[in-house]
Amino acid sequence: MSAVPLLPQRFINLSRGLLALAGLTIALMSSDLTLNTLSTNNPELVSVNQHSIGLQQLNFAAKRLTGASADTLDNEQKNTIIKLLIDEELLLQRAEFLGIADADPGIRKALARAVIDNTADEFLAQPIASQQLKDFYLQYQKLFTQPMRIRLQAYQFVDLAKAQQAFESDSELTKQISMLPPSALPEHMLRRYLGGRLTDIALSLEVGETSRPISHQDGIYLITVVERQPEQSLPFIQVRPQVEAEYQRRGRDAALQKQLIALRQKADIRINQAQVKKAANE
Amino acid sequence: MNSATHPRSLRILSLGALLGAILGALDATDWMTSNQQLSESSIAAVNSTQIRLLEYQRALSMLASEKRDPITDQDRNLVLQRLIDEELLIQQGLNSGLIRTNMAVRTVVLQSILAGIMAEIEAGNSQEQALLDYVENLKTSANIEWSAGWEQP
C-alpha cells in the first residue's frame, strides 16, 4: 500500500532534476561564459571580467613591443606586458559598453575590412592544383588571349596643302615623324592616342594603305597601316602567372559572396519599403 | 494542507514553464522582433541594428555624383543591398571577436576610446596622470583573476 505513491514521486523528482539540468544547459549555452582554463593551446594567465588573456596574447604583445618572444623575457618584463594587456582589455570592454565599436565609422570600416581580409586569406590558404588552373584557363580562355594589334604611322600637319603633298609623294611622307610609338598597339591604346574618329578610320584601312588627309579639330592627319597582328590565344605555360592571379581574384570574390549569402540566411533583415518608395520619388 | 497546495504549486510551475517555452519559441523564431515597426529615420534593419535613412541618402548622392545618367531603381536597390552587406560584415566582425584578435581593428578601437577619454579630460593639467587614473578607476570595478600558476606582480 505504501510502495505505490513512491514511484510517481521518484518520477517527479527525476523529471524536476532533468528540467533543472536542461535549464542550466540552456543558460550556459546562451551566456558568454567560456571555460578558458581548459584550453591547452592558449593557457589562461589572467581573466578580466571573464575575458581571458592567455599565453598567446602575451607572446603576440611581446613580439609587438619588444620584437622577441615572451620566452626570452624575465618575469618582471612579462608582468609589465600583462598589465598593459589588462589595461587594453579594460579599455576594449569600455568601448564595447559605450557601443563605440558599432558607431565609430573608422572602426566599422576596419571591422568590415578585417572580415573581408579573413575571408580572402582563408581562400588563399588553400593550395591550388595545377589541373585546377588548367581547367580555369580553358573555361576563361578569352581572358588570356592577346587582342588584335596594329602598327600605325600617324602624321599631323598644320595645313591641308602640305598634307595633300605628302599624301601624293612617298618621299615627302617618309620625311615626316610619326606621332605614335613604333610598336603594334591594341585598339584601346590607339583610341587613347588618336581618339575615336581617327582610330575608326585607321581600323578600316588595309595593310600598306595610307588614308586621305583627315581634317581634325587639332590639325590635318595622314594615317598609314604598317602591320596588323591578328588576335591570338596564348599557351597556358606562357600565361600561368596571370591565370593564377585571375583564379585567386575570382576565388576571393566568390568566397566573399558565399560568406555574405550565409550571413544573410542567418540574419533578420527588414526593409522600410515606405522610405524606399519615398526616396525613389524624391 | 500539504496535499492540497502541492498540486496547485505544480500547476503554477507547469503554467510558468509553458509560458516560458512559448516566449522562448517566439523569440527563437524572431516572431516578436520581425513584427516591430522600423522607425521613419531608418531605411532597413539588420538583426537589431537599424540602417539610418541619412546613410542611405548619403550613399545615393555619392553614386549620383559619380554617374552621368540619373539614378535608377536598380541603383537604389544596389546601394541598399551594399549597406546591408556592410552591416552584416560588421556584425560578423564583432561577433567573431575581431576587436581583440585583429591588430588593425584593436588599434583603431583603442585609439577611438583613448581619443574620447582625452577629450573628456582635456581640461586637466596632467593628461597622462588623468588617463592612468581613468584606467585605475576601471580596474576597481573590474573582476581581475590571475591564473593560479602565474607569478603575479
pLDDT of res. A263: 96
**Nearest CB to B92 within list A106, A263, A271:** A263
Q: Which domain holds residue B123?
A: 97-139
Residues on chain A touching B83 (C-beta within 8 angstroms): none
Q: Residues A252, A116: one domain?
A: yes
Range B57-74 average pLDDT: 88
User: Does a structural domain hold residue B153?
Assistant: no
**Which residue has better confidence, B147 or A260?**
A260
pLDDT of res. A107: 95
pTM above 0.90, yes or no: no
**Which residue has better confidence, B16 or A267?**
A267
User: Does a structural domain hold residue A94?
Assistant: yes
- Assess whether pLDDT exceeds 50 at residue B1: no
Range B97-113 average pLDDT: 93
Q: Determine the residue among B74, B101, B138 to mutate to test chain A binding: the one whose Cβ has the most chain A Cβ atoms within 10 Å.
A: B138
- Distance of residue A268 Cα from the nearest chain B Cα, in angstroms: 5
- Residue B110 contacts A where some CB pair is shorter than 8 Å: yes
**Which residue has better confidence, A168 or A174?**
A168
User: Does a structural domain hold residue B115?
Assistant: yes
pLDDT of res. A149: 95
User: Does a structural domain hold residue B148?
Assistant: no
Range A138-147 average pLDDT: 91
Q: Residues A82, A138: one domain?
A: no
pLDDT of res. A5: 57
How far from A34 is each of A46, A86, A107, A240, B147, CA to CA, in Å?
13, 18, 26, 47, 15
- Assess whether pLDDT exceeds 80 at residue A166: yes
- Write phi, then psi, for B54 (nearest 5 degrees): -60, -40
Q: What is the mean pLDDT of chain B?
A: 82
Q: Which domain holds residue A45?
A: 17-100
**Nearest CB to A44 within list B34, B46, B147:** B147
Q: Residues B43, B60: one domain?
A: yes
Q: Give the SS3 label for residue B42.
A: strand
> Does the beta-carbon distance from B139 to A90 stay under 8 Å?
yes
Say how far apart CA A228 and CA A152 lie, in whole Å. Answer: 9
Which pLDDT band holds residue B59 (cuts at 50, 70, 90)? very high
Q: What is the ipTM of this complex?
A: 0.70
**Which residue has better confidence, A176 or A121?**
A121
User: Does a structural domain hold residue B151?
Assistant: no
pLDDT of res. A39: 55
Q: What is the mean pLDDT of chain A?
A: 87
Say how far apart CA A165 and CA A176 lie, in whole Å. Answer: 12
pLDDT of res. A267: 95
**Which residue has better confidence, B7 or A1?**
B7
Residues on chain A touching B138 (C-beta within 8 angstroms): 90-91, 93-94
> Does the beta-carbon distance from B94 to A114 stay under 8 Å?
no
User: Does a structural domain hold residue A275?
Assistant: no
**Which residue has better confidence, B144 or A237?**
A237
Q: Give the amino acid at A244.
A: E
Q: Residues B77, B50: one domain?
A: yes
Q: Read off the C-alpha cell for B7.
A: 498540486
Highest mean pLDDT pick, A93-97, B12-16, B138-142: A93-97
Going A58 to A60 to A61 to A65, the CA torsion angle's sign is: positive
User: Does a structural domain hold residue B72?
Assistant: yes
Q: Residues B119, B78: one domain?
A: no
- Assess whether pLDDT exceeds 90 at residue B119: no
Find the farthest-apart pair of alpha carbons in chain B and give their distance in angstroms, rounded: 85
pLDDT in tens, B12-49: 888 888 888 888 777 666 565 555 678 888 999 999 89
Q: Residues B102, B126: one domain?
A: yes
Say how far apart CA A276 and CA B53 lie, in whole Å. Answer: 9
Q: Read off the C-alpha cell for B91.
A: 556584425
**First and final C-alpha spacing in chain B:** 61
> Does the beta-carbon distance from A268 to B112 stay under 8 Å?
no
Domain boundary (A65, A83, A100) is at: A100
User: Does a structural domain hold residue B1?
Assistant: no
User: Does a structural domain hold residue A6?
Assistant: no
pLDDT of res. A173: 82
Number of domains in chain A: 3
User: Does a structural domain hold residue B144?
Assistant: no
pLDDT of res. A1: 45
CATH of the domain at A65: 1.10.8.1040
User: Does a structural domain hold residue B26?
Assistant: yes
Q: Read off the C-alpha cell for A192.
A: 587613347
CATH of the domain at A171: 3.10.50.40
Q: Residues B104, B133: one domain?
A: yes
Residues on chain A touching B31 (C-beta within 8 angstroms): none
Which pLDDT band holds residue A264 (cuts at 50, 70, 90)? very high
One DSSP character per residue, chain A reads: --STTHHHHHHHHHHHHHHHHHHHHHHHHHS----GGG-SSS-EEEEETTEEEEHHHHHHHHHHHHSS-GGGS-HHHHHHHHHHHHHHHHHHHHHHHHTHHHH-HHHHHHHHHHHHHHHHHHHHTS---HHHHHHHHHHTGGGGEEPPEEEEEEEEESSHHHHHHHHH-HHHHHHS--SS-SS-EEHHHHHHHH-HHHHHHHHTSPTT-BPPPEEETTEEEEEEEEEEEPPEEPPHHHHHHHHHHHHHHHHHHHHHHHHHHHHHHHS-EEE-HHHHHHHHH-
Q: Residues B112, B133: one domain?
A: yes
pLDDT in tens, A202-255: 999 999 999 999 998 889 999 999 999 999 989 999 999 999 999 999 999 999
Q: Residues A50, A189: one domain?
A: no
Q: Residues B103, B69: one domain?
A: no
Q: Residues B88, B109: one domain?
A: no
Number of domains in chain B: 3
Lowest mean pLDDT among A33-42, B66-75, B90-99: A33-42
Is residue A156 within 8 A of residue A128, CB to CB? The reply is no
- Distance of residue A23 Cα from the nearest chain B Cα, in angstroms: 11
Residues on chain A touching B145 (C-beta within 8 angstroms): 46-47
- Residue B42 contacts A where some CB pair is shorter than 8 Å: yes
User: Does a structural domain hold residue A59?
Assistant: yes
pLDDT of res. A37: 46
Range A93-112 average pLDDT: 90
> Does the beta-carbon distance from A271 to B44 stay under 8 Å?
yes
- Assess whether pLDDT exceeds 60 at residue A174: yes
